[in-house]
Amino acid sequence: MSFYVTPRRSGETRIHKSSCSYCKDGKGVGSIFKVRRNNTVWSPPLATLVEAEAYARNHHHGKVVRCRHCLAPSALYRR
Ligand SMILES: [Zn+2]
């Protein structure tokens, strides 16, 4: 499993797991969120949540948030 980072139109940067239905290993979204400014840009796969958060802070401005679907606190412990 890996993590992906993507900026959102709201200015937030969101972190997803590769298994997230919104992410699909970096191939998801686009049509779902209808990002018109640039294309939806997914980060390369990141091995850990810590790395993903560091990547988000280094590459994007604004708030870094975790996806509520795949990275909800309960989901993290469900493995
Ligand atoms: Zn997600």
> 9, 67, 63: which is closest to 41 by C-alpha?
9
Query: How many Å lie between the centroid of ligand 1 and the Cα of residue 76?
Result: 12
For residue 35, the CA-to-ligand 1 centroid distance in Å is: 16
Distance 54 CA to ligand 1 centre (A): 17
CA 22-27-51 angle, 5° bins: 75
More confident of the two residues 23 and 59: 59
Is this model's pTM higher than 0.75 or not?
no
H or E element: which one contains 4?
strand 3-7
Confidence of residue 37 (pLDDT cuts 50, 70, 90): very low
Calculate how far, in angstroms, residue 7's C-alpha sits from the geometric centre of ligand 1: 12
How far is ligand 1, taken at its centre, from the CA of residue 48, in Å?
14
Per-residue pLDDT at 34 exceeds 50: no
Question: Average pLDDT, stretch 47-65?
Answer: 91
User: What residue ranges do the domains of the chain occupy?
Assistant: 3-77
Which DSSP string corresponds to 48-73?
Answer: SHHHHHHHHHHH--S-EEE-TTTS-H
Q: Report how far residue 29's alpha carbon sits from residue 73's, in angstroms, rounded to the nearest whole number.
A: 22
